[in-house]
Amino acid sequence: MKTKVRQLLEEGRVDAFLAYKTIHGVPFPTLFTKENVDELEEWAPFKARYPVTKILLAQARQNPGKTFGVLVRGCEERSLYELFKWNQLSPDKVVVLGQACTEDLALYCECKKPFPDQLDYGEAPAPVPRSRRLEELEAMPETDRLQWWLSHFNRCIRCHGCRDVCPVCFCTECSLEHKELIPARKLPPDSSFHLVRAVHMAGRCIDCGLCEETCPAGIPLRALYKRVNDLVENIFDYQTGVPDGKSPFSMLGDESFLPAGPR
């Protein structure tokens, strides 16, 4: 990995490369340039995950003329495809190296594609085509399922952690902060908070699961977004996180604006 990244930097193909550096025994996202490339470590599989493409997007917005490299897993590559489609990142300004997830991480995530299209490091584990969590939910009577969801939503403390960590939440102004849509000063917030966000994740969620891992209330958000994405695929024949196609939600209706929120 040191050789590939150094070559990309020295040949001028990238201005910086987003990979990992071990800090206090934990791999942590780090931006490498020619000045600190010697600190880059040899690749090894690990389970820690971060919103690396969200970090990449922030860097790209701050430095629009620069080209960045990034080390991605399967879900992170899927987020790149969505960011490309939504014109948040330019494919010409991103160079990718891919790493496989470990088999136990793939099973934990119930991931349909736990490896990127471009695989440079690791061996691709077997995909997990079925979600046990969704099957258990679908087996519930509808009224029980509704109460199950409401019981989880009622634990929400409205910290916005799910939004803040999401690699495909890229809006510079968030509708979840508009009191016209989401009632303010109400804890726990009513279910509109999560229902509005679920609509926004439809056809966009890449099933990384960071929202659920970040949630301090332990709300099973991943199951919610998996189900929403299944509906989008069944109704619109659109699959999230693939390089081709265009989200049906980028083509429906006229442009509209929310009233200005409090400053």
Tens of pLDDT along 63-121?
A: 999 999 999 999 999 999 999 999 999 999 999 999 999 999 999 999 999 999 999 99
Write out the DSSP string of 235-260: HH---TT-SS---GGGSSS----PPP
Q: At what angle do helices 74-85 and 52-62 cross, to 10 degrees?
A: 40
Helices then strands (H, E): number in the chain? 10, 4
Residues 90-113 as b or e (16 or more Cβ within 10 Å = b) = eeebbebbbbbbeeebbeebbbbb
pLDDT band of residue 176 (cuts 50, 70, 90) is: confident
Structural contact between residues 99 and 120, judged by C-beta atoms closer than 8 angstroms: yes
Closest by CA to 12, choosing from 95, 119, 99, is 95
What does the pLDDT read at residue 248? 82
pLDDT band of residue 189 (cuts 50, 70, 90) is: low
Structural contact between residues 178 and 259, judged by C-beta atoms closer than 8 angstroms: yes
Taking the alpha carbons of 164, 169, 173, 177 in that order, is the dihedral positive or negative?
Answer: negative
Helix, strand or coil, per DSSP, at residue 29: strand
In sequence order, the β-bridge partners of residue 98 are 72
Average confidence (pLDDT) over 6-18: 95
Q: What is the pTM of this model?
A: 0.89
Helix, strand or coil, per DSSP, at residue 18: strand
| Range in 59-73, 125-139, 220-234, 238-252 the model is least confident about | 238-252
Task: Delimit the domains of the chain by residue range.
Answer: 2-109, 132-236
Whole-Å CA distances, 177 to 1, 163, 186: 42, 11, 13
